[in-house]
Amino acid sequence: MPLSLAAWALAWNRWCLRSSRAVDGAALVLAVVGVPGGAMQVMAMTRICRLGLLALLALITVRLVRGSPLRIMAVATMALILVAQFPGELGSIGVPGIWFPFGIGVTLAQYAHAIGIPLLALLIVRTLHSNSVQ
The band of 103, judged by pLDDT with boundaries at 50, 70 and 90, is confident
Give the model's pLDDT for residue 100: 87
- Please give the Cα distance from 125 to 134 (Å, whole number): 15
The band of 131, judged by pLDDT with boundaries at 50, 70 and 90, is low
The band of 25, judged by pLDDT with boundaries at 50, 70 and 90, is very high
Say whether 115 sits in a helix, a strand or coil: helix
Contact 16, 64 (CB under 8 A): yes
Give the model's pLDDT for residue 22: 93
Look over the chain and give the mean of its residue pLDDT values, rounded to a whole number: 87
pTM score, whole prediction: 0.80
Say whether 40 sits in a helix, a strand or coil: coil
Report the amino acid identity of residue 15.
W
Averaged pLDDT, 29-37: 87
Report the amino acid identity of residue 7.
A
Contact 78, 64 (CB under 8 A): yes
- Please give the Cα distance from 4 to 10 (Å, whole number): 10
